Structure 1
Amino acid sequence: MKLLQIIRMVLWSFFGVRKRAGLESDIRNIHPLAVIGVAIMMVGLFIGLLIAIVHAVINGLM
């Protein structure tokens, strides 16, 4: 359950929307290194998705 909680926390931080009560609760229960690791993986997935979309668009137009 903690992994899903970390993923949810990172996704909300990408949007910049977070309630103070939720943030304080997460800070007490989650290790900072876990958050950093999940955030790096999600950024990598996001960049990979963007690259895949660009390749699909370029290959579709040629």
Structure 2
Amino acid sequence: MSSMAAASAKKPSFWRTVKAVAWSFVGLRARGDYEEDVKNLNPLHIIVVGLIAVVVFVAVLVLLAKWMVAR
């Protein structure tokens, strides 16, 4: 049973992908964690979350710039 619990813990999930992409944006990712992500995460999820993160990042920068100029 313990092998089944370990296998289910390694199952790719959307939340795990979000965390991996967030750490990648910051640039703080341990090599072991990176290698584990490569083995366990769905590449399609990584692309989707990465694109969403880029859009949110750019939107925040634009809103921040507009707010600073308006002052």
Shorter-chain TM-score range:
0.7 to 0.9
Could you list the runs of 5+ residues in structure 2 that have no partner in the other structure?
1-11
Larger-Rg structure: 2
Task: Provide the aligned length of Structure 1 versus Structure 2.
Answer: 60
Aligned CA RMSD, in angstroms, stands at 1.5
Cα distance in 1 for residues equivalent to 2:55 and 2:15: 18
Q: 1:40 aligns with which of 47, 51, 57?
A: 51
Instruction: Please give the TM-score of this superposition, normalised by the length of structure 1.
Output: 0.82
Instruction: Please give the TM-score of this superposition, normalised by the length of structure 2.
Output: 0.73
The equivalent residue for 2:31 is: 20
Would you identify which runs of 4 or more consecutive aligned residues in structure 1 move more than 2 Å? none
Query: 1:27-52 CA distances to partner (integer Å, 9 max, x unpaired)?
Result: 12111111011001001000000000
Could you list the runs of 5+ residues in structure 1 that have no partner in the other structure?
none
